[in-house]
Structure 1
Amino acid sequence: MEFNLVFEVYFMIHLQQYLSLEQQSQVIQACREVARISPLYTPKMPSGKPFNCQQTSCGSYGWISDRSGYRYSEIHPNTGKQFAPIPEIIYNLSKSLATQIGELDYIPQTCLINYYKSSGRLGLHQDNSEQNLKPAIISISLGDDAVFLVGGTKRSDATKEILLKSGDIIIMNSESRLLFHGVKKIIPGTYNLLKSGGRLNLTIRQVY
């Protein structure tokens, strides 16, 4: 598929409706298979406050948040077992995208899967738990539309709203790798791709 750059700020790339409906369905099915091995759960912030979304991970590592802080672990916090491997369709897609932006040695080591119900949201944050902060972050949106916020390298910087639709992909690389970003709100009923409604967001990263 042709790689079309349709939005760029600080070299952040927004690919609108990059995935076909068939590809979206295949990725969702792959996520369901992951969840059977590594179930969704509601993480807590270091303060003890629960997140406004559920999550799980797949790959060699999973992103964890609890009273001990933010970190990566090889073990699912609820099952005590290793996370499911990254499904081939997700692994190959992320490798292909990384290659097209010039990151030929990109290694997808983890895929964080966030499930947002209609009331879900995610506050402004940086993705900085990885030991290697140079490889791109690749984010895939599936299901209902979401209002995505992206700011600058400081939390106090002004933010811009971007409407993310099912099949959209955001790539944060180069200068955009450490931009503050978050999910302002979900727009329910906009794209009923998931049986239960809501939105899935997949974030693929190289940790080391």
Structure 2
Amino acid sequence: MDTHWTETLFPGAVILRRYAVERADTLISELDAILRQAPLRQMKTPGGRTIAVQNSSCGEFGWISDTHGYRYIRFDPISKAPWPAMPQGFKDLAIDAARAAGFDKFIPDSCLINRYLPGTKLSLHQDKDELDFNHPIVSVSLGMPAIFVFGGLQRSDPLSSIKLEHGDVLVWGGPARLLFHGVKSVKDQPHGTLGSQRINLTFRRAK
């Protein structure tokens, strides 16, 4: 059995190291089924810039970005069908991880799926498209490692860098809920199962 342990970064932000390792094969299998229904795509920012990270969603709501802004909607804008249902294994992991990090009432209704290829990065931003900031964010890392950065409540605040590896789960909420964060350019360090990619499952309570 894999050992996992907890690292507290600062109030409201916790890393559960290797927490998802034992469930990873199941998560990857369920992910394949989701992406057959709602394939990965590259969206545009409201300003027209192409987002480098490929993404999709599952759950009651999916996150999208286009010329009308950032938001959650019930239907995949490509297929016009509802987003794929969130697998029970996804939901159970998110609820269990949130509880382990001290957030007992989290039930996700959306999972944003991000795929990073070598050289892909995610610019500094806040997660603020959700209706209620009392719910935490639960972020599961699969595949290649990445350097996640946390800042403060202002974009100009100093940054802290945290290495996230396959199976790590990062949870932030409470006083940390609106901290700026991002991902540095991902290096090509192929993973045994997923190869040259990093998959990030980000669970949220959208509505």
- What band does the TM-score fall into relative to the shorter chain? over 0.9
SS at match of 1:158: coil
User: 2:205 maps to what in 1?
Assistant: 206
Contact 1:152 1:180 survives alignment (8 Å): yes
User: 2:6 maps to what in 1?
Assistant: 5
The 2-side partners of 1:99 and 1:2 are apart by: 18
Contact 1:52 1:119 survives alignment (8 Å): no
The 2-side partners of 1:125 and 1:151 are apart by: 9
SS at match of 1:36: helix
Normalising by the residue count of structure 1, what TM-score does the alignment of the two structures yield? 0.93
Q: CA deviation at 1:89?
A: 0.7
Structure 1 residues 105 and 11: alpha-carbon distance in aligned structure 2, compared to 1, 3 A threshold: closer
User: 2:168 maps to what in 1?
Assistant: 168
User: 1:139 maps to what in 2?
Assistant: 139
User: 1:62 maps to what in 2?
Assistant: 62
Residue 120 of structure 1 pairs with residue 120 of structure 2: yes
Q: Which runs of 5+ in 2 are unaligned?
A: none
SS at match of 2:98: helix
Structure 1 vs Structure 2 CA RMSD: 1.6
Letter of the 1:198 partner, please give it.
Answer: Q
Normalising by the residue count of structure 2, what TM-score does the alignment of the two structures yield? 0.94
Contact 2:14 2:101 survives alignment (8 Å): no
Q: How many residues in Structure 1 have an aligned counterpart in Structure 2?
A: 206
The 2-side partners of 1:192 and 1:46 are apart by: 37
Q: CA deviation at 1:10?
A: 3.3
| 1:174-185 aligned within 5 A | 174-185=174-185
User: 2:155 maps to what in 1?
Assistant: 155
Structure 1 residues 123 and 172: alpha-carbon distance in aligned structure 2, compared to 1, 3 A threshold: same
Identity %: 34
Q: CA deviation at 1:106?
A: 1.9
Structure 1 residues 101 and 145: alpha-carbon distance in aligned structure 2, compared to 1, 3 A threshold: closer
Contact 1:150 1:180 survives alignment (8 Å): yes
The 2-side partners of 1:4 and 1:174 are apart by: 21
